[in-house]
Amino acid sequence: MTGATGNVGRELARELDELGVPFRVLVRDPARATTSPERAERVVADLSDPATLPPAFAGVDRLFLLTPGIGLDHTRHAVAAARSAGVRHIVHLSSFNVLGDPMPAMGRWHHEREQAIRASGIPATFLRPGGFMTNAFDWLPTIRQGGYVLDPAGPGRYAPIDPADIAAVAALALTGDGHQGQEYVLTGEELFTVVDQVKILAAAAGRDIAVRAVNTAEEAVASRFPNGAPPALAEAIIEGFHLMRADTAGFRTDTVERLLQRKPRTFAAWCARNADAFRTT
């Protein structure tokens, strides 16, 4: 599995460990993989350097592929290594943005990755989640500095998903039958505006948190990437928030419940688990 140190990857490693499945995590920096379960085999490799991948992929039967950023190279390198190793199934973390009509920039990037995987001939499952609950961590800088959250979405509503639910679906697809060739669009069950979310978070953290409307493109980018973003990514973020602001009805699916036979985790429960991070001032 790639992306083992991220929000989804950490949860997926726990899922596979609890299932007793032997698995290998690919990391660039072994120091960052210290939170992986003891059961996990760790291998140092870099998706940007194809020469490092053959030993990492040797003997692998199924691949969880998460490639962050904008470019396509990481996906191409991983797919080439997977083909050479005889991988029989790829579970790929994509995005619900590929469903856009017209497709936004973020959707086009993910669509290109999906197409590269399809072109490989390796059977695949595509996971297409919406916004993550963990995106609330992006609010920490302004909460700590001024007790407020920047809101670029206004009346727009969406159904954030707990990365733990994405991981549970990924584990099911990796270890179960009947998921090859499937495209799973994953959301939470509850529709929120940013104001709605902040109220729930403030209650869990036991503190006042204000909401400030975003007035500039720079503020919109800062609400998602407090330390800034490359120009292409910044433009995509602004486009995404524009679309989100216009969606006052909200979009959600029942895929998580249908696959896992339980309700998706709630935002209130996520806030309760992570409240300590937001109490810090």
Average pLDDT, the chain: 93
Cβ neighbors of 248 (< 8 A, separation 6 or more) are 155, 156, 157
78 in a domain, yes or no? yes
What the block records as the tokens of 252 is: 């959600």
What the block records as the tokens of 280 is: 């810090």
What the block records as the tokens of 31 is: 């120091």
Q: Which residues of 178-195 are buried (b: 16+ CB within 10 A; e: fewer)?
A: ebeeeebbbbbbbbbbbe
Calculate the alpha carbon distances from 128 to 92, 132, 198, 267 in Å.
9, 11, 25, 19
The predicted structure's pLDDT at residue 54: 96
Neighbouring CB atoms inside 10 A of 82's CB total 22
Q: Is the peptide bond before 102 cis (omega within 30 degrees of 0)?
A: yes
- Please, are residues 82 and 97 in contact by the beta-carbon 8 Å criterion? no
Q: Which of 2, 12, 170, 13 is nearest to 79 (CA)?
A: 2
CA 219 to chain centre: 22
pLDDT tens column, 208-265: 999 999 988 888 888 888 788 888 888 988 998 889 899 999 999 999 999 999 999 9
> Domain of 34: which CATH number?
3.40.50.720
15 in a domain, yes or no? yes
pLDDT tens column, 182-196: 999 999 999 999 999
- The predicted model gives 21-47 an average pLDDT of 83
70 in a domain, yes or no? yes
* Tally of CA atoms within 13 A in the half-sphere of 8 that contains its CB: 27
Using 50, 70 and 90 to split pLDDT, how confident is the model at 32?
Answer: low
Q: Determine the Cα–Cα distance for residues 79 and 65; give it in Å rounded to an integer.
A: 9
Whether residue 61 is predicted with pLDDT greater than 70 in this model: the reply is: yes
Domain range enclosing 31: 7-130+161-187+251-265
Cβ neighbors of 165 (< 8 A, separation 6 or more) are 186, 188, 256, 260, 264, 265
Instruction: Indicate the number of domains in the chain.
Output: 1
Q: SS3 of 213, please?
A: strand
193 in a domain, yes or no? no
224 in a domain, yes or no? no
- The predicted model gives 52-80 an average pLDDT of 94
pLDDT tens column, 106-150: 899 999 999 999 999 999 999 999 999 999 999 999 999 999 999
255 in a domain, yes or no? yes
Burial of 27 (0-12, 13-18, 19+ CB in 10 A): buried
43 in a domain, yes or no? yes
217 in a domain, yes or no? no
What the block records as the tokens of 38 is: 């003891």
